[in-house]
Structure 1
Amino acid sequence: MPTGMHLRDARQQLFEAAERVLLRDGPNGLTSRAVTDEAGCAKGVLHRHFADFDAFLTELVLDRAAQLERQAGALRESAGTGTVAGNLSSALTTLFGPVPVAIVPLVTFREELRARLREARPGGGIAILADVAAAVGAYLADERDRGRVAADADLDSLTLSLVGGGHLLFADRDPDPPAEATVDRLVTTVLAGAVPRRPGPDRTGDSGA
């Protein structure tokens, strides 16, 4: 493979190459050489755009976290429509896609990466998992304001259960992601007692469950 290839939008192409390596070889296989080989460029290309490999990984995680924020916007926009359980099931399937799930062990695997992410994102929490938790928590709060989640529901505990359980389901991709019914069962179990059962249709035309 040529090593002097010019890359258009080199940052994104390097990010995409890193994702492919990460999905194929895991965190241990993600090296600067593996990324540039995958992208078909000289190793120096990466270092022209980033101070070092941990700087590259930090920008990769931040870029993918920003994508999650955009996807999380769709979850919040769904508040008041459909069902709470259905909206959350769909959102978990989207937010815990292959790349976000693969990034979580990468962050835990590299101490320097965690340190740089803490500097870039004050407030703590593991990148990606913290983003998913923020999205789910905000959505549940929106639904509580609409009366579709119980007023006395412990949103922090619900969020922790949904995100932790969802991550466990999607991290075990052997050989495929969990079935839709499996995700639905997790969500409905966690929400049991927190989503009021109405005797008839609400203003959105559904039961809210």
Structure 2
Amino acid sequence: MLNKIRNIDADTVTPYISTAAVLLILSAFFFPAIAVMFIQDMLFFSYDHWSFLRPSEAYIGFGAAMIWVAIVLLSFLFTKMHSERKDTIYKFAGLHVVMMALAVPVFALSIYHYVFLDENGVTGNSFWTFSEEHISWDEVEEVTRLVDESNKAVLSYTFSDGEKSITVPYNSREYETRRAILSAVQMYEWEVTDIFEDAGTVPITF
């Protein structure tokens, strides 16, 4: 494989690599929303979910991996062209294969970054792991919510059992998430603490 990469003619692959790189960079700003939703629905969809949420980091990570692939492709192309002009043996094939391979775990981590709520509690998979964390509703000891101080919009809820915490992105326009969280809060009569960026904390009770 490395020999094939070393022997590739730069002029032959230039139009293909340059076009692919441009498409990857441009599509990185909208394609992740489609890809992440579609793949996660295929892998994790369940009728038992009250709400399934995809944190913004999942889309950002997927898009960043696409841009990284484009950068590696362009880097390969430019270094290969330079090597051919100097009429020297191309020495960076292995490096570019490794650099390209680094995008694979980022794609996977983006897909495995999610949070969902069901009758058993809240389950989340943080960006840098492939393993789920789960907190049962009856194990919740503390509930906080992050509030945008400028407009008082709720940005997220965090559920903690004293040892671990799971943060649930919140948007008041997402009816399923709003209903699930408020129903759980009212059922278990938790005291919810508002956390403002600069104003400290203000305890409130539903």
TM-score of the pair, normalised by structure 2: 0.28
Which structure has the larger Rg?
A: 2
More relative contact order, 1 or 2 (CA 8 Å, 6+ apart): 1
Which is richer in strand?
Answer: 2
